[in-house]
């Protein structure tokens, strides 16, 4: 690493040349009687021997439907045993798994059906949030001509598919083959299908398992959704490649079910996005649970507030809690803190590059690598970079340059010690009267107010200044505050132009299923509510 420039690379390690199915086979051979999967809401427990047998049965079922290597099969469901079986069975049969977000409704589902060309779709019939059967019927009018098989989980159709399985007669997939398509959230324009290979996913899971120092005693509690990289790679595949136990507390995130799962299953590892940890810490029954079995975990998926991290370490006994950073296009992990890093280092950075991973920060204007501590766009290169966007060569070329660097769209700085800080999205920066304001910086400051539980900052259009600062604030239970009180808290501590001009107290935030706050929706709501449509039409450079 240069003393001068923002470039770092993780330690060299062997690249695993195996498929997901081979990783499962290896763990089942080494730990046949160890618990592999616990789904508490389904009262299901499978050892590695049982999991491998069920996966083989499911893969034969896929073959019985006539699915062949390279064909695409979608899973549109909340977390369950069948989701895991299908993920691993698709890998075994060479079928490409298409992850479908359970929050999708007919317009979005029609897009994914059309775009992915999936031949089979596995789904729940309905749950508390949606009637999937009905949504599918509405969406099929808008696409999905390739769709031949619709199999509802937990019904006779599922049992019939398993009963009609046939032998897999073709060559097994290779590590460089695409095994998974995940759609980026599409906060700008239509979602893009990210093509991920066995090599991408197995190796990313392996380096993250090593970073967590996993051993046979570990039990991972996975309350994050499986359709997302956090669930199906850092959840399922980290467990499979290391031969440890994965616990699903509920179909969808439920803070009480998560606390119960840690307590009763003696989980040692806990995952979540910051909003999940906040919900657990603030649950009225929090003090009832013994969380002393916890050792480590990963907080990721959204910027991690420093104050929240401190409470997780202190009150949840997660002394070795880590922060990870990445995105779907990178399988997903790019950087991660070490379990033995000081708390200060863990709460102030997103760690350093994972094994076999290069990271650099480049100038948005010149593309040159910038000096340490200078802000620019974070780029990464290595085994973990996606194969590309499905059927979108132009978008792929924009994302991955000729030297193989993936441009993340995230703003970051590198410290001299090779650790990185994410400072915002390139498109999220607020420019107020010529002053650059990074929402993350204002959010971190507001988190130090003892009354504030959660806060998000966005820019609102302003005819005179171009943009001004808005904060959505959720107060801790039982607290009250006024807008002026919050502004007074800021005065003299942060620059005057960073102090929120607008403050709204809210009970919740618009979110994706993965817990990422949709700031564009906050902005849209506020523009409407405050009559700023004219200001919003003013074009800026």
The rounded Cα 147 to chain-centroid distance in angstroms is 27
Sign of CA dihedral 302, 303, 306, 307: negative
What is the Cα Rg of the chain in Å? Answer: 23
Instruction: Please give the Cα distance from 273 to 254 (Å, whole number).
Output: 13
- Rounded CA gap, 525 and 235, in Å? 34
CATH T-level fold of 428-536: GMP Synthetase; Chain A, domain 3 (3.30.300)
| Residue at token pair 């400072």 | 423
pLDDT of residue 190: 67
- What pLDDT does residue 188 have? 43
pTM: 0.84
**pLDDT score of 1:** 45
Q: What is the dihedral of CA 223, 225, 226, 227, to 10 degrees?
A: -170
**86 touches 99 (CB < 8 A):** no
Q: Which residues of the chain have pLDDT under 70?
A: 1-3, 142, 185-190, 303, 434, 436, 513-514, 538-541
CA dist., res. 78 & res. 63, Å (int): 24
Q: Which of 195, 190, 187 is nearest to 330 (CA)?
A: 195
Q: What separation, in Å, do the N-terminal and C-terminal C-alpha atoms of the chain show?
A: 36
Q: Are 338 and 400 in contact (CB under 8 A)?
A: no
Tens of pLDDT, residues 137-178: 988 886 778 999 999 999 999 999 999 999 999 999 999 999
């Amino acid at each position: 690493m240069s003393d001068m420039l923002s470039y770092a690379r993780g330690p060299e390690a062997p690249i695993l040349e195996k498929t997901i199915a081979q990783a499962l086979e290896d763990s089942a051979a080494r730990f046949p009687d160890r618990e592999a999967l616990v789904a508490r809401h389904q009262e299901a427990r499978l050892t590695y021997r049982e999991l491998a047998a069920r996966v083989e049965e499911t893969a034969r079922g896929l073959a019985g439907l006539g699915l062949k290597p390279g064909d695409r099969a979608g899973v549109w469901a909340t977390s369950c045993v069948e989701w895991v079986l299908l993920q691993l069975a698709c890998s075994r049969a060479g079928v490409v798994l298409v992850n479908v977000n359970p929050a999708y409704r007919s317009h979005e589902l029609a897009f994914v059906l059309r775009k992915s060309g999936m031949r089979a779709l596995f789904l729940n019939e309905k749950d508390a949030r949606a009637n999937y059967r009905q949504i599918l019927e509405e969406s099929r009018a808008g696409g999905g001509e390739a769709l031949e098989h619709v199999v509802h989980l937990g019904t006779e159709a599922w049992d019939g598919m398993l009963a009609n399985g046939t032998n897999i007669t073709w060559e097994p997939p290779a590590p460089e083959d695409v095994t998974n398509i995940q759609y980026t959230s599409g906060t700008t324009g239509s979602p893009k299908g990210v093509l991920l290979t066995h090599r991408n996913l197995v190796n990313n899971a392996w380096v993250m398992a090593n970073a967590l120092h996993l051993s046979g005693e570990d039990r991972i509690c996975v309350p994050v959704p499986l359709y997302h990289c956090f669930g199906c790679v850092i959840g399922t595949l980290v467990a499979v490649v290391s031969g440890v136990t994965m616990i699903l507390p509920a179909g969808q995130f439920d803070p009480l079910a998560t606390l119960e799962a840690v307590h009763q299953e003696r989980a040692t590892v806990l995952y979540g996005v910051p909003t999940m940890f906040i919900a657990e810490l603030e649950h009225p029954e929090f003090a009832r649970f013994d969380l002393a079995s916890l050792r480590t975990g990963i907080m990721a998926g959204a910027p991690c507030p420093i104050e929240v991290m401190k409470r997780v370490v202190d009150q949840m006994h997660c002394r070795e809690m880590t922060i990870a950073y990445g995105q779907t296009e990178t399988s997903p992990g790019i950087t991660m803190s070490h379990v033995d890093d000081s708390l200060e280092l863990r709460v102030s950075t997103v760690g350093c590059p994972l094994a076999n991973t290069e990271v650099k920060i480049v100038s948005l204007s010149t593309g040159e690598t910038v000096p340490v501590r200078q802000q620019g766009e974070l780029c990464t290169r290595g085994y973990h970079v996606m194969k590309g966007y499905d059927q979108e060569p132009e978008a792929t070329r924009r994302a991955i340059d000729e030297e193989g660097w993936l441009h993340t769209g995230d703003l970051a700085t590198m410290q001299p010690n090779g650790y990185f800080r994410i400072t915002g999205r390139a498109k999220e920066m607020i420019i107020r009267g010529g002053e650059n304001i990074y929402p993350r910086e204002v959010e971190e400051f507001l988190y130090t107010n003892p009354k504030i539980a959660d806060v998000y900052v966005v820019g609102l259009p302003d005819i005179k200044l171009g943009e001004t600062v808005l904060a959505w604030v959720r107060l801790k239970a039982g607290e009250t505050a006024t807008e002026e009180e919050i502004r007074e808290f800021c005065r003299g501590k942060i620059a005057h132009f960073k102090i929120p001009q607008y403050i709204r107290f809210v009970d919740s935030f618009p979110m994706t299923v993965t817990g990422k706050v949709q700031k564009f929706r906050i902005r849209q709501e506020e523009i409407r509510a405050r009559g700023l449509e004219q200001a919003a039409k003013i074009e800026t450079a």
